[in-house]
């Protein structure tokens, strides 16, 4: 993605301006845009300059392993394409015209207005224009309070859900027993989002739950409308989505549970399922009976690859540069289940300071290795490469930006597991669930394969 400028304040003195080299995210606008595109039937309406939609769409979609999003957005996304005259005289009339023309030409289930930096800076009253349109038309419409300078694309994901909660959702007639929502996996920023949501859905259905993944589902706006009906919200992330879950609990009384890191492999997935079941009052015996077949099959596949694992990967040093969610999941699996030794885990999604200690704990406690990894929070690609040079890694799990650096500077094998992923096509690939670890080992062993 493009370089970012951040300001660091030291001892309440004049802010020091730092230029970040290739941070692994976009802006709030981009996060809300891809989240909208990831729900079938939603029409994103961009109120911004002419380049914002194009840059974010191709940057985030191509960077997440490809696979175009949306049937009413993507290449045909409506945009106001604001120019200099709109900066001077305002862009509210331009937005009104865009809403009317979009309503004539596109038959969507929900219009989502997403503003960029320009209308925020010039003071366009987007809420007023949206409310006018809503009063005159039968088309459902919401607006997301985004602007590029308001945060990164992870924040945009949360702001999209905030807008849905505040402007679309109503009190449920009745809470549906066994219905759960999955929160915390941001489309595109989490490169395995499509496959992971499908696998987590399949896994929880084993114990009799009805799962609403919200994104990537064919039900469209119905996936959004039934969010308040859930008996439980499951936040599959150590920090992203927790504020959304808090808001849902405050507004609708829905309790939530937090899974600190993606469950990868049978050990962590069993713990995940048992935790969810305990929260919902499902008897442990019933859960054990439902998942035993999955566990046995998963370990049988480990037997198939065990010789190669012992000879090729056991006790190997590895480093990780990835967002906290997948970094925790992969590190714990490769260490606890595969006997590998982590040297350093670089967290690249810039989690809030208040969440960093819990992330460190998940990466250093209950780890079956004499070698506990150093945990470093860094989003600057130049600094990430400098950090990796200090460790004797045989394997680097990171983004595609570490690919050639790992080979040329570290003589290490490399596998892309985090954003951006310009060297992989990812549609239903997943590292989560009972068999996710097998997929990971397939990919790692494939990196070691050579023709004879």
pLDDT in tens, the chain (452 residues): 444 555 454 455 555 557 788 888 889 999 999 999 999 999 999 998 888 888 888 888 888 887 666 677 667 889 888 888 878 777 889 999 999 999 999 888 999 999 998 888 888 899 999 999 999 998 899 999 987 678 899 999 999 999 999 999 988 778 999 999 999 999 999 999 999 999 999 999 999 999 999 998 888 899 999 999 999 999 999 999 999 999 999 999 999 999 999 999 999 999 999 999 999 999 999 999 999 999 999 999 988 888 878 777 788 999 999 999 999 999 999 999 999 999 999 999 999 999 999 999 999 999 988 889 999 999 999 999 999 999 999 999 999 999 999 999 999 999 999 999 999 999 999 999 999 999 999 999 888 766 54
Q: Alpha-carbon distance 161 to 158, whole Å?
A: 5
Pairing of strands 4-8, 16-20: antiparallel
For residue 364, CA distances in Å to 113, 237, 261, 271, 341 come to 43, 17, 13, 18, 12
For residues 316-351, one letter each, b for 16 or more C-beta atoms within 10 angstroms of the residue's C-beta and e for the rest, the string is bbbbbbbbbbbbbbbbbbbbbbbebbbbbbbbbbbb
CB atoms within 10 A of CB 406: 23
What pLDDT, on the 0 to 100 scale, is given for residue 12?
Answer: 55
Answer whether 398's CB lies under 8 Å from 416's CB: yes
Res 299: pLDDT: 93
What would be the CATH architecture of the domain defined by 302-448? 3-Layer(aba) Sandwich (3.40)
Helix 324-336 vs helix 265-280: angle between axes, to the nearest 10 degrees? 120
SS (H, E, C) 247-269: HHHHHHCCCEEEECCCCEHHHHH
Q: What's the chain's length in residues?
A: 452
Record the pTM.
Answer: 0.92
Those residues with Cβ within 8 angstroms of residue 80's Cβ, 6 or more apart along the chain or in another chain:
46, 47, 48, 86, 91, 94, 95, 98
270-299: string of b/e by CB count within 10 Å (b at 16+)?
bebbbebbeebebeeeebeebbeebeeebb
What is the pLDDT at residue 74? 67
Task: Provide the pLDDT for residue 1.
Answer: 45
pLDDT score, position 452:
47
Give yes or no on whether 4-167 and 302-448 have one common fold: yes
CATH superfamily of 179-280: Nitrogenase molybdenum iron protein domain (3.40.50.1980)
How far is 199 from 430, CA to CA, in rounded Å? 7
312 φ/ψ sector (left φ>0, alpha ψ -120 to 50, else beta): alpha
Rounded-to-5 percentages of helix, strand, coil across the chain: 45, 15, 35
Q: What angle do CA 7, 13, 18 make, to 5 degrees?
A: 20
Q: Residue 375, Cβ neighbours under 10 Å: how many?
A: 23
Superfamily of domain 4-167: Nitrogenase molybdenum iron protein domain (3.40.50.1980)
Helices (H) and strands (E) in the chain, counts: 17, 14
Taking the domains of the chain in order of start, what are their residue ranges? 4-167, 179-280, 302-448
Q: What are the angstrom distances between the C-alpha of 292 and each of 64, 118, 284, 429, 433?
A: 33, 55, 12, 23, 13
Q: How far apart are CA 287 and CA 60, in angstroms?
A: 38
């Amino acid at each position: 993605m493009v370089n970012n400028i951040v300001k660091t304040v030291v001892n309440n003195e004049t802010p020091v301006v730092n230029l970040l080299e290739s941070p692994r995210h976009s802006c709030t606008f981009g996060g809300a845009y891809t989240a909208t595109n990831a729900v079938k039937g939603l029409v994103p309406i961009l109120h911004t300059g002419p380049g914002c939609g194009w840059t974010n769409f191709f940057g985030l979609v191509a960077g997440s392993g490809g696979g175009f999003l949306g049937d009413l957005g993507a290449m045909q996304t409506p945009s106001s394409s604001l120019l200099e005259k709109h900066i001077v005289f305002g862009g509210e009339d331009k937005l009104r015209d865009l809403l009317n023309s979009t309503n004539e030409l596109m038959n969507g289930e929900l219009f989502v207005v997403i503003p960029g930096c320009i209308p925020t800076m010039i003071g366009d009253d987007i809420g007023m224009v949206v409310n006018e349109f809503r009063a005159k038309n039968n088309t459902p419409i919401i607006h997301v309070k985004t602007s590029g300078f308001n945060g990164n694309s992870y924040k945009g994901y949360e702001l999209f859900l905030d807008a849905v909660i505040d402007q679309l959702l109503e009190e449920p007639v009745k809470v549906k027993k066994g219905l759960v929502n999955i929160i915390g996996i941001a489309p595109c920023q989490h490169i395995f989002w499509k496959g992971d949501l499908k696998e987590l859905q399949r896994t929880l259905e084993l114990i009799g739950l009805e799962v609403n993944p919200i994104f990537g589902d064919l039900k469209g706006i119905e996936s959004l409308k039934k969010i308040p009906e859930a008996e439980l919200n499951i936040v599959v992330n150590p920090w992203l989505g927790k504020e959304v879950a808090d808001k849902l609990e405050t507004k609708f009384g829905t309790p939530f549970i937090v899974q600190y890191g993606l469950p990868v492999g049978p050990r962590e997935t069993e713990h995940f399922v048992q935790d969810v079941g305990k929260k919902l009052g499902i008897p442990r015996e019933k859960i054990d009976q439902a998942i035993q077949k999955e566990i046995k099959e998963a370990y049988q596949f480990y037997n198939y690859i065990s010789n190669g694992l012992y000879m090729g990967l056991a006790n190997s040093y590895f480093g990780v540069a990835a967002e906290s969610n997948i970094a925790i999941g992969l590190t714990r699996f490769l260490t606890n289940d595969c006997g590998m030794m982590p040297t350093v885990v670089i967290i690249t999604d810039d989690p809030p300071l208040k969440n960093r200690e819990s992330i460190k704990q998940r990466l250093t406690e209950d780890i079956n290795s004499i070698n506990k990894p150093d945990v470093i929070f860094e989003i600057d690609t130049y600094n990430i490469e400098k950090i990796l040079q200090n460790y004797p890694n045989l394997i680097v799990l990171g983004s595609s930006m570490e690919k050639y650096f790992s080979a040329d500077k570290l003589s290490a094998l490399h596998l892309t597991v985090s954003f951006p992923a310009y060297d992989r096509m990812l549609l239903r690939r997943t590292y989560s669930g009972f068999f996710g670890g097998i997929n990971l080992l397939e990919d790692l062993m494939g990196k070691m394969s050579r023709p004879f």
